[in-house]
Amino acid sequence: MVNGVRHFIDIADLSPGDVRSILDAAVTMKAQRHTPVAVERRFLAGRNIALVFEQPSLRTRMSFEVGINDLGGSPIMVTGKEIELGEREALKDTARVLSRFVDAIMVRALSHDLLLELAHYASVPVINGLTKKSHPCQVLADILTFEERCGSIAGRKISWVGDSNNVLASWMHAAAKLDFEMIVGTPAEFAPAEGLVSRAREEGATLHLTNDPREAVAGADCVITDSWVSMGDVDRERRLELLCPYRVDPALMKLAAPDAIFLHCLPAHRGEEVTDEVIDGPQSAVYDEAENRLHAQKGVLAWCFDAL
């Protein structure tokens, strides 16, 4: 919380109780979505929410717009070209002006520092829709999906294979809050930053790092991967060469627990980080996962507006 405002920046900033409350609210609102909406679940009635996108997105835009509408609010889409964050004017001025017009600001931008500066000067909640550093909304949706399929995530074994990125960072933050084991399999060159690992461990996360994808997946209750080339990466050919052994195919997936599920935040590059047999197979939960962005983000909005 900054200056009395509840910003949603990173899972690392929340208490375990806050994370669980958001997930519980998401479960409730998902169950109620196609039933008459109680007044208390339309807590955004009369409120306007700015959706600021420096990069295009299908799932983030649709899930926030639909969710805000479901909760009685009005989403206002603003593109990077229109607002030019930090270029046309000082970020502090943008934050203060937007705060006079809207009741919350969702931002999807590469720069995490930009997001933090906006939150520092805004007098309304700022929500992290994605930065290069973290993707907390996605990981809340992932956890919601896991618990729908497999029960409580506490004490379970969650495997990440491939590149380390913003989604993995938020998974590591979550491991410190919800008491599950995280096994991370990456090439040495793409291992998670030591600062991220040490902070997660200091906060109570059980993390194991390996360069062997088979070791990472062995006995896992959930196998997660993500695109190998994204968000400004320029070394495509080298990345593909190093990451090829980490492709999630039926042989790798078979090493996980028999009832393990597969997650990918999408968009997927089929044939690179995952094969068609896995992403279209019976263990895949990627479309439930995509839908759950809607419900998890409703939980985030409820937390920001103290409507849990």
Count Cα neighbours of 172 within 13 Å in the Cβ-side half-sphere.
28
Reported as type and span, the H/E element at residue 95 is helix 91-101
Environment class of 31 (CB within 10 Å of its CB; exposed 0-12, middle 13-18, buried 19+): exposed
d(CA 73, CA 45) in angstroms, rounded, equals 5
- Three-state DSSP at 158 gives strand
135 included as an active-site residue: yes
Widest CA span of the chain, in angstroms?
55
d(CA 174, CA 216) in angstroms, rounded, equals 18
d(CA 67, CA 293) in angstroms, rounded, equals 9
Structure-token pair, residue 234: 């320029």
Q: Which of 7, 41, 59, 108 is catalytic?
A: 108
Q: Which of 226, 264, 297, 304 is catalytic?
A: 226
Sequence-ordered list of residues with C-beta below 8 angstroms from that of 279, at least 6 positions apart, any chain: 262, 264, 268, 270, 286
**Contact, 223 vs 159, CB < 8 A?**
yes
Beta strand residue intervals within the chain, DSSP E: 48-53, 74-79, 104-108, 126-130, 157-161, 181-185, 206-210, 222-225, 261-264
Q: Which of 293, 295, 297, 304 is catalytic?
A: 293
Q: Which of 41, 112, 135, 264 is catalytic?
A: 135
End-to-end CA distance of the chain, in Å? 16
18 included as an active-site residue: no
212 included as an active-site residue: no
Structure-token pair, residue 297: 């983000």
**Contact, 19 vs 11, CB < 8 A?**
yes
Q: Which of 137, 222, 265, 304 is catalytic?
A: 265
**Contact, 61 vs 109, CB < 8 A?**
no
293 included as an active-site residue: yes
276 included as an active-site residue: no
d(CA 260, CA 244) in angstroms, rounded, equals 22
Q: Which of 10, 138, 142, 221 is catalytic?
A: 138
265 included as an active-site residue: yes
Residues forming the active site = 108, 135, 138, 226, 265, 293
